[in-house]
Amino acid sequence: MHKFANPGQFTKLSTRVLPWTSSFAAVCFLFGLYFGIFDSPADYQQGETVRIMYVHVPAAWMSLLTYSLMAAASASFLIWKHSLADIAARSLAPIGAAFTAITLITGALWGQPMWGTWWVWDARLTSVLVLFFLYLGYMALVNAFDDPEKGSKAAAVLALIGFVNVPIIKFSVDWWNTLHQPASLSRLDAPAIDISMLTPLLFMALAFKLLLISILIIKMRTILIEKRIEAKQLLKSG
Amino acid sequence: MKKFLALVQRDLILVYRSANDAWVVLFFFVIAVTLFPLGIGPDPGVLQQLSGGIIWICALLSAMLSLDGVFQSDFDDGSLDQMILTSYPLELLVLGKCFVHWLTTGFPILLISPVLATMLNMNLDSYSTLLITMLLGTPTISLMGGVGAALVLGSRRSGVLVSLIILPLIIPILIFSVAAINASGEGVEISSAVKLLGALLIISSVFCPWATAATLRHLTN
């Protein structure tokens, strides 16, 4: 892993990977949307609104996955002082915030016809809202210092502390009796979902993951290029 | 222990010399609570229902106001660097600083909260619960706030920033405290919420000084 922590190596590798991940993401989105909108049955209870779930559920998974990756990157930055880990964590924060926002918005759009309300203060919804605030707090902290190194360290510690919220979100539907329904996929026995609905869900989940990798690579490369420009300008003026 | 007390004494003298800063926080708490009956109407029934939540939210906001100052003056005049360099464990020094913060903000708020509870027409059965939740909750805020204060040290607009990053993390304290106060008003068992508050206090008194000290070492070297 340490071999790829070199920015030059990363740039080389990412140049080769990016076209693949982005085109596969597009293909998966096409398949997922086709199955989700045209080739899957309406739910016997939820009707056509069940199709919102093909965006909502993968986005919710991504909001947790992105935070976990951000915490892992922050930890490796604090331990090994790899600047690339810091750049990864910085790039992941706005992506995760966007996924969380999508989760909250699609959830509200689904909740209005299904529960009769845009929003309820149950444990799952509240903890996801807190996750959104944690992303925003991270982004505010990382940019609040004149010395970017200090911002990176402070924000990395915050990301690790905020990680306590991730298991709370995951298990909130089991620990508390919430309006939000419990997990139907990640269970010990077979998933409680029909194959015709599972197909679009898994395609969308794969598409979101590939999208995350693609955006992450683009953002990290942008920051690396920005740093190089800055260094060159310093060299010129100095 | 002697050094710990010496630090607490020093910080208390510092607060005493600029007593205005401590008063300001208490005044803010009183004024903020006063705004609620004016904003939502003076109906005693409504106020009784909301009293626990109002007092706790205002207590949280008042504590946030004073947090960015916990390490700021020591950071500005360089004595924080000296504290980090001493052989005495920084974790205990941090614990002392959080204790002083609680003694000068959380504790006065706790003392005055029954008076404000009367003005909000709180249920008589809830007073003891209010004091218990304050006694368990406000030190936890000071401990968790210490981490936030260390994180924003040297940043721009650190006062607002510390509230932004710490408030989401102390939401559990608010939830359990207000749940206990409301339950006691209805004569329901409160021990589970109070035990959770106690657990939060114990966990944060072990974990937070350590995290704060680690942050200070990272940020100041």
Work out the pLDDT band at A27, boundaries 50, 70, 90: very high
For the segment A108-118, the average pLDDT, to the nearest whole number, is: 87
| Average predicted confidence (pLDDT) for chain A | 87
List of residues 6+ apart from B197 with CB closer than 8 A: B133, B136, B137, B140, B173, B176, B177, B180
Q: Which tens digits make up the pLDDT trace of B68-81? A: 888 888 888 888 88
**Residue A127, phi then psi, degrees to nearest 5:** -70, -30
Q: What share of chain B is helix, strand, coil (3-state, %, to 5)?
A: 85, 0, 15
* The pLDDT of residue A178: 67
User: Which of B68, B166, B169 is the best mutation test for A, with the most CBs of A within 10 A?
Assistant: B169
What are B2-40's pLDDT values in tens digits?
Answer: 888 888 888 888 888 877 777 888 999 999 999 999 998
State mean pLDDT over A202-215.
94
How far apart CA A97 and CA B63 sit, in angstroms, is 27
A40 or A216: which leads in pLDDT: A216
Residues in B touching A157 (Cβ below 8 Å): 147, 151, 211, 214-215, 218
For residue A200, CA distances in Å to A25, A208, B85 come to 14, 12, 59
Of all residues in chain A, the one with the smallest CA distance to B165 is A137
- Measured CA to CA, the distance from residue A158 to residue B166 in angstroms comes to 9
CB A121 within 8 A of CB B179: no
Residues of B in CB contact (< 8 Å) with A are 147, 151-152, 154-158, 161, 164-165, 167-169, 171, 211, 214-215, 218-219
Q: Are A137 and B164 in contact (CB under 8 A)?
A: yes
Is A151 in contact with B147 (Cβ distance < 8 A)? no
Of the partner residues A78, A130, A141, the one whose CB lies closest to the CB of residue B151: A141
Cα dist. A10→A16, A81, A88, A130, B189 in Å?
Answer: 10, 16, 11, 33, 58
Question: Per the CB < 8 Å rule, is B165 touching A153?
Answer: no
Residues of chain A contacting residue B215, judged by C-beta atoms under 8 Å apart: 153-154, 157
Question: What pLDDT was estimated at residue B206?
Answer: 92
Percent of chain B beyond pLDDT 90? 52
Question: What's the pLDDT score for residue A189?
Answer: 59
Report the amino acid identity of residue B151. Answer: L
* Chain A partners within 8 Å of B219 (Cβ): 150, 153-154
What ipTM score was computed for the predicted complex, to two decimals?
A: 0.84
Q: Please state which of the ranges A18-32, A192-206, B142-156 shows the lowest mean pLDDT.
A: A192-206
Q: What is the pLDDT of residue A74?
A: 94
User: How high does pLDDT run on average in chain B?
Assistant: 89
Yes or no, beta carbons of A141 and B215 under 8 Å apart: no
Query: Do the Cβ atoms of A162 and B156 come within 8 Å?
Result: no
Question: Which residue on chain B is closest to A152 by alpha carbon?
Answer: B219
| Cα B167 to Cα B174: distance, rounded to the nearest angstrom | 10
Q: What residue type is B152 in one-letter code?
A: V
Can you spell out the DSSP letters for B161-215? HHHHHHGGGGHHHHHHHHHHHHHHHTT---HHHHHHHHHHHHHHHHHHHHHHHHH
Min Cα–Cα distance to chain B from A79, Å: 11
Q: Distance (Å) from the C-alpha of residue B200 to the closest C-alpha of chain A?
A: 13
Query: Which among B189, B190, B44 is positioned nearest to B118, based on CA atoms?
Result: B44
Task: Name the more confident of A67 and B78.
Answer: A67
The pLDDT score that the predictor gives to residue B218 is: 81
Residue pointed to by tokens 């510690």? A157
Q: Which two tokens stand for residue A147?
A: 């010395």
**Which of the 8 DSSP states describes residue A145?**
-
Type and span of the H or E element at B144: helix B127-151
Position with higher pLDDT, A187 vs B123: B123
Q: Which residues of B touch A147 (CB under 8 A)?
A: 154
pLDDT for B191 beyond 90: no
Contact B151 A158 (CB under 8 A): yes
Note the residue count of chain A.
Answer: 238
- The answer to whether B48 touches B123, Cβ cutoff 8 Å, is yes
Whether A130 sits inside 8 A of B214 (CB atoms) is no
Distance between CA atoms of B58 and B62, rounded to whole angstroms? 6
What spatial distance separates the first Cα and last Cα of chain A, rounded to whole Å?
A: 35
